[in-house]
Amino acid sequence: MKRILIPTDFSNNAWNAICYAMRLFQNQECDFFLLNTYTPVIPSSRFMAPMVNGVRIEDAVRSTSENGLSKTVKRIRKEFNNPKHSFETISSFNLLADEVKDVVDTYGIDLIVTGTKGASGMDEVFMGSNTVRIIKNTKKCPILAIPRNFEYMAPSEIAFATDFNRFYSLSELTPLIDLANSFEATIRIVHVQYEIKALTELQLFNLNMLRKYFANVEHYIHTVSELNSVSHTLDVFSKELDIHLLAMLHYQHSYMERMTREPIVKRTAFHTQIPLLVIPELGMEPTTKERKEELRSY
């Protein structure tokens, strides 16, 4: 059974992400963990009231969190009523990114599904700060970020953005391969080049390994010239080819790492209109000998 974590702040953005997850996995048995975190104001002086109308502030905020989760589960069951899905709720006094990391470790989460922005998200950034923090802090499972206005459609066209500079392990690519197989999707491997030049020996090796991993999935290679920025280029590519989902590995110097640096995120023109699957690196970069052994054994 797949274990999926969905953080929620009870906003319309969060509900849209929940709806996407219910539809994406409607034919799979899943245990969904709905998470809400809260950080109530702690009185810093004797002039700040620790209670309102006879109720401790912390207890009131906890109650609001727990009631919100209960109502969300009832709404899901009413609108989707899927016997393949079960639900657990987690209400926690903690920072969201920290609690997400703890929940992933504690419950062996396979995937995180979240909205790209919270209730107070601004249009000029492509992701809210909480989503960026989750992506940066999560090292053990993929994150699927859903734009707030995206209406579900089965992902039959998936783009995988990479520069071929890093060796791929099968365990890292398995979530992407499983998703493609589930929907009989085409994977379009897109390589963004700052300047046109031949691939290096290392890039060719990694490309060859990637082709082997995708041997049973329909896939194509696309090399495109960078337009102002990688993010803008991927945005244009996705619109032109009617891509339903964009996937990227997250590691040092990757496209995703560059896009989630706070100063860049705040000024980028990238406004993702499709779900974004972020896959963290799961191990150390192998040696040349290890690469060759894996290539021979696969």
pLDDT in tens, the chain (298 residues): 899 999 999 999 999 999 999 999 999 999 999 999 998 555 554 544 455 445 566 778 889 999 999 999 999 999 999 999 999 999 999 999 999 999 999 999 999 999 986 554 444 444 667 888 888 888 889 999 998 888 899 999 999 999 898 888 899 999 999 999 999 999 999 998 877 788 999 999 999 999 999 999 999 999 998 877 777 788 889 999 999 999 988 766 556 665 555 444 443 444 567 899 999 877 544 455 555 555 555 4
d(CA 5, CA 56): 29
Query: Which pLDDT score is estimated for 61?
Result: 86
Give the bridge partners for 198, in sequence order. none
Res 267: pLDDT: 39
pLDDT score recorded for residue 229: 73
Phi, psi of 266 (to 5 degrees): -75, -20
Yes or no: domain 1-152 corresponds to CATH 3.40.50.300: no
- The three-point CA angle 202-157-254 to 5° equals 35
Give, to the nearest 10 degrees, the angle between helix 12-24 and helix 57-79: 40
Confirm whether 1-152 and 153-298 share one CATH topology: yes
Q: Which string of DSSP letters, residue by residue, matches the chain? A: -EEEEEE--SSHHHHHHHHHHHHHTTTS-EEEEEEEEE-PPPP-STTS-SEETTEEHHHHHHHHHHHHHHHHHHHHHHHT--TTEEEEEEEEES-HHHHHHHHHHHHT-SEEEEESS-TT--TTSSS-HHHHHHHHH--SS-EEEE-TTPPP----EEEEE--S-SPPPHHHHHHHHHHHHHTTPEEEEEEEESS--PPPHHHHHHHHHHHHHTTTS-EEEEEEE-BSBHHHHHHHHHHHTT-SEEEEEE-TTSHHHHHTSHHHHHH------S-EEEEE--SPPPPHHHHHHHHHH-
Q: Which CATH superfamily is domain 153-298 in?
A: HUPs (3.40.50.620)
User: Residue 251 CA to chain centroid, in angstroms?
Assistant: 14
CA distance 103 to 5: 8
pLDDT of residue 20: 97
pLDDT number for residue 268: 43
What are the residue ranges spanned by the domains of the chain? 1-152, 153-298
- Which residues, other chains included, contact 291 with Cβ-Cβ below 8 Å and sequence gap of 6+? 167, 205, 209
Q: What pLDDT score does 88 carry?
A: 98
Residue 262 is predicted with a pLDDT of 40
